[in-house]
Amino acid sequence: MQTPGPRSSSDAPPATHATTPPEASSPACPVCGGQLIEIRHKLVCSRCHSICETCCEGGRG
């Protein structure tokens, strides 16, 4: 039986890189991290149903 030797760079799995930075992905709820959806021009969390106001309305933005 052969013992596995050190891996060469040729049989190492290819490195994967994200195509978009995390900041450019869909917005997340600041309360629970859920996905935000737009309902009647307001961003609402699909998980906890918090209303995340926009910057022009005095919220975090």
Residue 54 has pLDDT above 90, yes or no: no
β-pair type (51-52, 36-39): unpaired
38-61 CB burial, b ≥16 within 10 A, e <16: eeeeebbbeeeeeebeeeeeeeee
pLDDT at 46 over 80: yes
Query: Is residue 13 pLDDT above 70, yes or no?
Result: no
